[in-house]
Amino acid sequence: MKRLRLGVNIDHVATVRNARGEGYPDPVRAAEMALAAGADGITAHLREDRRHISDTDIEALAVICRRRGRPLNFECAVTPEMEAIALAHRPHAACLVPERREEVTTEGGLDMIRGANTITPVVRRLAAAGIRVSAFIDADDAQVTAAKAAGAHVVELHTGAYCQAVRERLPQAEALLRNLRAASAHASELGLEVHAGHGIDFETVKPIAAIPEVVELNIGHFLIGEAIFMGLGPAIQRMRGLMDEARAASHADPAFDRATQG
Ligand code: PXP
């Protein structure tokens, strides 16, 4: 039976800080609070344009995560600059994401098929440095297979389209959830660890947490938004509670244990 971990993404604490060019609110303080509230690890995306998290934030986050023995999941684009930063800090994990400067957020998964020649050597070098490498991909079997071929340890499935479809009450939500389930099963069969993230809120967390092969969720924007109303600690505790409820309900289903054995 696999426990479901919660990684809290604190990028948007830095977004609020940067809106005024002040030193507050401090994402490192948010990371400390998140860990105290039950987050298993911290996720931060150092974007090439540094629109939220800064190099100094990453340095400080690496220090506090190491001190507390908790994983830092460093999200970054596949560029020489980001590879050098990952190798300098040696976080527990590096999650490779696509990045386009004009996008508001990470809009789709990394294309592990078309990008194989560029991505594979980066995956190998990060892995050789002892960093667990995760590929942020769409829920697509061919992408999962290509991530395995590139040497990734983990695939993080992009849940953004599913979450948006649920929020907008679109009929394709069920099909998108089925894709997430199928890609999770395929990844697990290939021996990849399965994570999921993007756009998850209190409504969408349960169906995703119930996917038996998923062992980690990375959640940021919604939690930081909800922190305005209920506080960061309570928002994380509520999310954790919903994850645990979904997991407990699916443990009652014999198919869950069959899927998570091995
Ligand atoms: N996982 C990855 C790879 C991401 O790029 C992001 C967004 O930075 C998240 C998870 C968290 O998404 P959200 O902030 O929408 O919860």
Q: Which of 215, 210, 212 is nearest to 245 (CA)?
A: 210
- pLDDT mean across residues, the chain: 94
What confidence tens digit (pLDDT) does each residue in 18-51 have? 999 999 999 999 999 999 999 999 999 999 999 9
Question: Domains of the chain, with CATH numbers?
Answer: 5-259 (3.20.20.70)
Q: Where are the alpha helices (DSSP H) in the chain?
A: 11-20, 27-36, 55-68, 80-89, 116-128, 141-150, 160-167, 173-189, 205-209, 221-230, 232-251, 254-260
pLDDT score of 100:
78
Ligand 1 contact, 136 CB (< 6 A): yes
Q: What separation in Å is there between the alpha carbon of 9 and the centre of ligand 1? A: 7
For atom 5 of ligand 1, which residue has the closest CA?
A: 106
> 18: which residues sit within 8 A by CB, 6+ positions away?
51, 52
Dump pLDDT digits (tens) for 64-79. 999 999 999 999 999 9
Cis peptide, bond prior to residue 212, ω within 30 of zero: no
Residue whose structure tokens are 């340095």: 59
Q: Is the CB of 109 under 6 A from ligand 1?
A: no
Catalytic residue flag (residue 75): yes
Say which of 52, 89, 158, 198 is annotated catalytic: 198
Q: pLDDT tens-digit profile of 144-193?
A: 999 999 999 999 999 999 999 999 999 999 999 999 999 999 999 999 99
Cβ neighbours of 220 (radius 10 Å): 25
**What's the rounded mean pLDDT across residues 137-142?**
98
Which residue has the least CA distance to atom 3 on ligand 1?
Answer: 136
Ligand 1 contact via 197 beta carbon (within 6 Å): yes
6: how many CB neighbours lie within 10 A of its CB? 23
